C-alpha cells in the first residue's frame, strides 16, 4: 500500500514538474517569437527607410534636380575639360530628323559679353559670367524648318543639366524669336545670314548656393485609360 502511495506521489510530482517545464518553455518560446517578430519588423522598417533615403539622395544628386537659374557668378574660370563636357552634352540632344542644326559661339571676352548683355533688359547676367555660350542654328542645315526652336531648346537643356552636375551655374537668356534681340546678337558677333542666334547661356561657378524648389504637382498628371 505504501508503495502505491509513493508511486502515485512520485507520478504526481513528475507530472507537475513536466507541466511547469512545459509552461516555462511555452512562455520562453512565445517571448522568443515576439522578440524575433519585433526584430524582423524593425529590420524591415530600417530597410524601407534606407531605400527611401537612398531614393531621396539619388534625386538630390540628380543634375535635373540640381539645376537652377544662376545670375551671379564668381570670377573663377570654367575649366576646358568641363566646357568640353558641356558641348558634348549639347550635341547629344535630340533634333527633328536628327538634323542637328546647332552652332556654338563661345567667348570670355568681357567687351563682347557686355555688348551682348544689352540685347535685352533681362540679359545682364551675360556680362557677369566668366564664360558665355551663344547657341545658334544654321538655316541651311534644317531638314524640317518648323522645328529649329525645339531642337535648340533640347540642346540648351542638355547644357544646363550637365553644368549642374559639374557644379556650374547657368541661366537661359532668350534671344529667338524676338527680332530686336536676334538683330543685336547677330550684329555684335557679325553672324552670316544663315546663322540664327537662339539663346545666351552664361556659365560659371555660382556666387551663392541655390537649391531647386520642389515643383512636382500630382494634379497636373492625367492618366488616360
Domain boundaries, the chain: 1-61, 80-204
For 99-113, write each residue's pLDDT tens digit. 999 999 999 999 999
Rounded CA separation 19/207 (Å): 78
Q: Whose CA is closest to 157, among 110, 217, 95, 218?
A: 95
Note the pLDDT tens digit of each residue in 206-217. Answer: 999 888 888 999
Q: What is the mean pLDDT of residues 62-86?
A: 95
pTM: predicted TM-score of the whole model, two decimal places: 0.74
Strands (E) in the chain, as ranges, are: 102-107, 131-138, 169-170, 173-174, 195-204
154-200 tens-digit pLDDT: 999 999 999 999 999 999 999 999 999 999 999 999 999 999 999 99
Closest CA to 184 of 109, 102, 107, 114: 114
Which listed CATH number (3.20.20.140, 3.40.109.10, 3.40.50.1700, 3.40.50.670) goes with 80-204? Answer: 3.40.109.10
For residue 96, the model assigns a pLDDT of: 97
Amino acid at each position: 500500500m505504501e508503495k502505491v502511495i509513493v508511486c502515485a506521489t512520485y507520478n504526481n510530482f513528475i507530472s507537475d514538474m513536466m507541466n511547469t517545464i512545459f509552461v516555462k518553455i511555452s512562455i520562453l518560446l512565445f517571448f522568443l517569437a515576439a522578440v524575433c517578430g519585433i526584430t524582423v519588423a524593425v529590420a524591415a522598417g530600417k530597410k524601407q527607410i534606407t531605400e527611401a533615403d537612398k531614393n531621396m539622395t539619388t534625386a538630390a544628386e540628380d543634375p535635373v534636380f540640381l539645376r537652377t537659374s544662376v545670375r551671379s557668378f564668381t570670377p573663377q574660370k570654367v575649366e576646358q575639360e568641363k566646357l568640353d563636357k558641356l558641348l558634348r552634352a549639347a550635341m547629344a540632344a535630340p533634333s527633328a530628323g536628327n538634323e542637328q542644326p546647332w552652332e556654338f559661339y563661345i567667348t570670355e571676352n568681357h567687351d563682347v559679353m557686355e555688348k551682348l548683355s544689352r540685347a535685352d533688359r533681362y540679359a545682364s547676367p551675360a556680362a557677369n559670367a566668366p564664360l558665355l555660350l551663344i547657341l545658334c542654328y544654321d538655316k541651311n542645315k534644317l531638314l524640317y524648318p518648323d522645328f529649329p526652336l525645339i531642337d535648340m531648346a533640347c540642346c540648351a537643356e542638355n547644357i544646363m543639366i550637365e553644368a549642374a552636375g559639374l557644379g556650374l551655374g547657368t541661366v537661359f537668356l532668350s534671344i529667338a524669336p524676338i527680332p530686336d534681340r536676334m538683330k543685336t546678337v547677330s550684329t555684335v558677333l557679325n553672324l552670316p545670314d544663315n546663322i540664327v542666334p537662339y539663346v545666351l547661356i552664361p556659365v560659371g561657378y555660382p556666387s551663392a548656393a541655390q537649391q531647386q524648389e520642389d515643383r512636382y504637382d500630382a494634379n497636373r498628371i492625367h492618366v488616360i485609360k
